[in-house]
């Protein structure tokens, strides 16, 4: 796999601190696509947002007998990958394939190949669990005498559960030969792909980049979050006074990033800035004062060359856990006060974990293109201790600058600024 960068992690660099003080060159989202529990493609997702129709339903994933709600993408069990991609067969890659088929995305990539060449387009993907469901199934089918894993699994591990499977798969589907990387930093994985792609482009490693993320439901996350007592028994209620936990979901999303000098056009949506931090406060609990979140948000604004007052809307991480929503509100209010409208969209999609970053960045992109701000679905009474300007109901009005926050386990934080050129 020539050009495949076999590492994942966070760039913690002094150069990043220095560079964050200089506005970056905007990167145009020339094409993009999204699949969530709300539907396949941007049209379906947009319609669900406007109709306030949630994709969350009582848990019916395999034999997971949990009293919770999930955002399951319908139909993933009904097809298999073709013979050419058989080695990649797993739920996560089926979801990845389904995402690639929407909104003419593969056609847009083919046209980009004509412009730049297959070896000049990078692939930067995010996932938290990759194809771990295949390993779960394999352990259930061990040899009862020897404990050996089935042969079908051991021959396919590198193409399924291996964390780099997703990048390899997307690269193969799109016929790309440029550098590739998979980032796995929990919830922030597919937000950090934008930052990494921006660095690739700035360093001259590529002329364009496919960024995205895919995470699919599995028993490890469902039972793991249940053990942490973080799952709600009802559809999640971000920012609600009585919120009691999250709802897990799955999603696949992609965007083609190009320099605004090459792919920019008036009215296009672009990445204007990004900020990253790793505060390492606790494995699963955010820093109580939101220190890492504040740092990431400020970096993103600095890179965009914007002031807090320039932001029209903030798509919150908003997981609907007691701690997350409270801490994020502290961070947001400390920078923006009660100025920009804020909402969480996880009531529609559930928490897609490693795919949450791309999911919410693309929802923010839809908002910018359509002049629309989704409210916070399922929030009936806003927690009176939260001080940011949280929306319950949808609003139709033009917006030009949006911040999208994603904060992951271990203090892996990322904030993106998107705007209309």
User: Digits of tens for pLDDT over the chain (421 positions)?
Assistant: 344 444 443 344 444 555 556 789 999 999 999 999 999 999 999 999 999 999 999 999 999 999 999 999 999 999 999 999 999 999 999 999 999 999 999 999 999 999 999 999 999 999 999 999 999 999 999 999 999 999 999 889 999 999 999 999 999 999 999 999 999 999 999 999 999 999 999 999 999 999 999 999 999 999 999 999 999 999 999 999 999 999 999 999 999 999 987 756 888 999 999 999 988 877 767 788 889 999 999 999 999 999 999 999 999 999 999 999 999 999 999 999 999 999 999 999 999 999 999 999 999 999 999 999 999 999 999 999 999 999 999 999 999 999 999 998 888 999 999 999 9
CB 82 within 8 A of CB 20: no
**pLDDT digits over 289-309, tens only?**
889 999 999 999 999 999 999
Residue 387 lies in a domain: yes
Number of structural domains in the chain: 1
Residue 8 lies in a domain: no
Residue 9 lies in a domain: no
Q: Give the 3-state DSSP-derived string for 156-225, with helices as H, strands as E and coil as C.
A: CHHHCCCCCHHHHHHHHHHCCCCCEEEECECECHHHHHHHHHHHHHHHCCCCEEEEEEEECCCHHHHHHH
CATH code at position 106: 3.40.47.10
Mean pLDDT in the chain?
A: 93
Residue 13 lies in a domain: no
CB 307 within 8 A of CB 301: yes
Residue 2 lies in a domain: no
Q: Which residues are catalytic?
A: 187, 317, 351
Residue 18 lies in a domain: no
CB 229 within 8 A of CB 66: no
CB 366 within 8 A of CB 49: yes
Q: Left, alpha or beta for 3 (phi > 0: left; psi -120 to 50: alpha)?
A: left
Residue 143 lies in a domain: yes
Phi, psi dihedral angles at 181 (to 5 degrees): -155, 145
Residue 1 lies in a domain: no
Domain of 129 in residue numbering reads as: 28-420
Can you tell me whether residue 93 is helix, strand or coil? helix
CA distance 102 to 258: 20
Looking only at the bridges linking them, the beta strands covering 251-259 and 27-36 are: antiparallel
**Which DSSP symbol is given to 25?**
P
Token pair, residue 404, equals: 């999208």
């Amino acid at each position: 796999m020539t050009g495949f960068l076999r590492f994942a992690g966070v760039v913690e660099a002094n150069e990043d601190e220095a560079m964050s003080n200089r506005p970056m060159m905007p990167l145009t989202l020339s094409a993009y696509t999204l699949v969530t529990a709300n539907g396949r493609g941007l049209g379906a997702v947009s319609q669900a947002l406007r109709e306030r129709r949630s994709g969350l339903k009582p848990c019916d994933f395999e034999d997971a007998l949990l009293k919770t709600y999930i955002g399951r993408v319908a139909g993933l069990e009904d097809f298999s990958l073709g013979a050419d991609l058989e080695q990649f067969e797993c739920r996560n890659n089926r979801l990845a394939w389904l995402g690639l088929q929407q909104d003419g995305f593969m056609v847009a990539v083919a046209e980009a190949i004509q412009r730049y060449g297959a070896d000049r387009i990078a692939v930067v993907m995010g996932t938290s669990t990759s194809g771990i469901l295949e390993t779960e199934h394999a352990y259930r089918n061990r040899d009862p005498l020897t404990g050996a894993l089935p042969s079908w699994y051991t021959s396919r591990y590198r193409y399924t559960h291996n964390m780099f499977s997703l990048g390899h798969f997307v690269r193969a589907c799109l016929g790309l030969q440029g550098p590739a990387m998979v980032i796995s930093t929990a919830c922030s994985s597919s937000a950090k792909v934008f930052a990494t792609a921006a660095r690739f482009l700035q360093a001259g490693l590529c002329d364009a980049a496919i960024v995205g993320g895919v995470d699919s439901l599995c028993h490890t996350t469902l039972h793991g979050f249940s053990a942490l007592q973080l799952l709600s028994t009802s559809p999640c209620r971000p920012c609600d006074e009585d919120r009691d936990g999250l709802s897990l979901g799955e999603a696949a999303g992609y965007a083609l990033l190009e320099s605004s000098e090459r792919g920019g056009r008036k009215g296009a949506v672009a990445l204007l800035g990004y900020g990253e931090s790793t505060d390492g406060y606790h494995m699963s609990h955010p820093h109580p004062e939101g220190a890492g979140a504040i740092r990431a948000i400020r970096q993103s604004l600095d890179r965009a060359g914007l002031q807090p007052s320039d932001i029209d809307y903030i798509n919150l991480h908003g997981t609907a856990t007691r701690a997350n929503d409270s801490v994020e509100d502290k961070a947001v209010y400390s920078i923006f006060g009660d100025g920009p409208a804020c909402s969480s969209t996880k009531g529609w999609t559930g928490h897609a974990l490693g795919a949450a970053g791309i999911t919410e960045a693309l929802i923010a992109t839809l908002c910018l293109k359509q002049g629309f701000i989704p409210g916070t679905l399922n929030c009936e009474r806003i927690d009176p201790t939260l001080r940011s300007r949280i929306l319950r109901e949808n609003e139709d009005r033009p917006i030009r600058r949006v911040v999208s926050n994603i904060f992951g386990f271990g203090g892996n934080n990322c904030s993106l600024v998107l705007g209309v050129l």
